[in-house]
Amino acid sequence: MNSPAPGTVTAATTPDTPEDTGPPEPSLPPTPRPVRLALVAGLVVVGALAHFGGVAAADRPAVAYRVQAGCGIVFFLGLAAVCSNSLQSVRLKTLLWGIGLQFALAVAVLHSEFVQHVLEGIGSGIKALITASDHGADFVFGTLAHVDGKAGFVFAFKALPPIIFVSSFFSVLYYLGVLQLLVRVMARAMMYLMGTSGAETLSVAANVFMGQTEAPLIVKPFVPKMTRSELLALMGSGMAHISGGMMAVYISYGADAVSILCTCVMACPCSLYLAKLIYPEASTPVTAGTAPVTVVTPYVNAIDAAAAGVKDGVWLAINVAAMLIAFIAFIALFDIVLGEIKPGLIRAGIAKEQLTWWPDALRLETIFGWVFAPVAFLMGVEPGECDKVGSLLGIKLAANEHVAYLKLKEWKETGSVVLSERSQRLAVYALTGFANFASVGIQLGGIGAIAPGRRADLAKLGMKALFVGFLATLINAAIAGMLMKG
């Protein structure tokens, strides 16, 4: 068993009771209305520049993309500023260092062959885990687990086994202390540069490897005493990342491994500074200036850790399957209703000629494409493909990222929708995160179990956390779109 370092705070010294409602926080002065209106006007100007700048530079595609995505970065940051509850209280150090770290990571990945080789190596390692899990699935399910078998691709037998094995593998790494070491190194760097508290920074770093309800366990003793700003960082970061198990699944779908790994790392400083921009710190956090990693492993040995990881992985796989059944069914129901509206209006006596503007095969996917096409454009997506990428963004937000990844996989395999390599990669950047409406409830249940006395704060911050998580992935995509070669 790991013993805590001398002088560090442990779970025994920090009470965790339902009565804990967080430290008292002074009220911050709200952002003045004229400032908000000026920011909104600025967003309109930036949007116009993105459109006309891209069109004007159409004969130089690389410049056009940079204009698009560069304006997109400014637009997304400006949108966060508009939503800030006290813009004048934002610490510039946290904001500027966070943006700087995010850009530095993107430049390192997109323009450094060494870093690319490192991430490709990690991606190859994840693919090896998928291959290993395939052997286990073959033994249990036989040809049902073979993509080229008679049954073809069967989701339950092909996509879910990697979740179970990767969960078990990560539990072993947790027992050996490997994950804690990586989390501690990342957290100390961000904490020192951005001036954030130890507890929130540790949880943000842990989200690179763990899910949105597992990462908070690293700082479980401190969650009840977190400030509201820290809670928003904790929740928003969970929605801006995906777990290691889901990372393996999406890579098995053919998503670019380097893009997935890059956006997960970039989301750390991004989600942290967005939380501080939208909800600035109003008091001094309990763990200010410290990084208290004092997790005591619950496992007896590596075998016990692997077995416990299997149990967790099975639960996650069942949850994923159930969520997909429900959300895909809801999408199908909406499509049925939308498809019956036009025929119903015609049966009601409205002339068919008066409904020529209504699409014959209107689908929820099409509506999402219309709504989110401007967002995709600001990410730097090919202009002619913005409606398709926009539909993926809408599906991710309304259902979850898994349904969106399945749709992208279907397009690639059937050729029904052809996206350029650039648009596919930017879609991966934007889709890689748990930011969807269901995650609000998941976090309320998961984190609420750790700190029952903070349920009211968690409920109030839920939609803000969703906004932080969704916006973080969009900014990641826009930065990649601006820096991407070609």
Of 428, 424, 399, give the one whose Cα is nearest residue 411.
Answer: 424
Detail the DSSP E strand segments found in 39-126. none
Output the pLDDT for position 60. Answer: 58
CA dihedral 22, 23, 24, 28 (to 10 degrees): -90
Output the pLDDT for position 374. Answer: 95
Of 198, 290, 271, give the one whose Cα is nearest residue 233.
Answer: 271
- For residue 208, report the phi and psi dihedrals to the nearest 5 degrees: -65, -30
233/200 Cα distance (integer angstroms): 6
Cα angle vertex 106, ends 434, 481, to 5°?
80
Number of Cβ atoms within 10 Å of the Cβ of 55: 12
**Among 69-83, 111-125, 284-298, 437-451, which range has the highest average pLDDT?**
69-83
Number of Cβ atoms within 10 Å of the Cβ of 383: 16
Domain coverage including residue 71? 33-82
Compare 121 and 25 and report the one with higher pLDDT: 121
41 domain-assigned: yes
Please, what is the average pLDDT of the chain? 87
Stretch (H or E) spanning 272? helix 257-278
Amino acid identity of 244? G
38 domain-assigned: yes
| pLDDT range class, residue 153, cuts 50, 70, 90 | low
78 domain-assigned: yes
249 domain-assigned: no
Lowest mean pLDDT among 70-74, 161-165, 387-391: 161-165
Number of separate domains in the chain? 1
Question: Is residue 365 within 8 Å of residue 395, measured between CB atoms?
Answer: yes
**Among 135-144, 204-213, 344-353, which range has the highest average pLDDT?**
204-213
- Report how far apart, in Å, the C-alpha atoms of 213 and of each of 262, 347, 417 are: 22, 50, 35
Look up the pTM and report it.
0.88
Model confidence over 349-394: pLDDT tens digits? 888 888 888 887 788 888 999 999 999 999 999 888 999 999 999 9
Of 279, 251, 277, give the one whose Cα is nearest residue 264.
Answer: 251
Of all residues in the chain, the percent with pLDDT exceeding 70 is 91
11 domain-assigned: no
| Cβ neighbours for 354, distance < 8 A, ≥ 6 positions apart | none
Output the pLDDT for position 8. Answer: 37
Model confidence over 239-277: pLDDT tens digits? 999 988 889 889 988 899 999 999 999 999 999 999 999
Tokens, residue 65: 């993309």
72 domain-assigned: yes
- Report how far apart, in Å, the C-alpha atoms of 70 and of each of 77, 101, 275, 320, 442 are: 11, 17, 21, 35, 34
54 domain-assigned: yes
Cα angle vertex 214, ends 289, 225, to 5°?
40
61 domain-assigned: yes
Of all residues in the chain, the percent with pLDDT exceeding 90 is 48
Of 485, 388, 367, give the one whose Cα is nearest residue 430.
Answer: 388
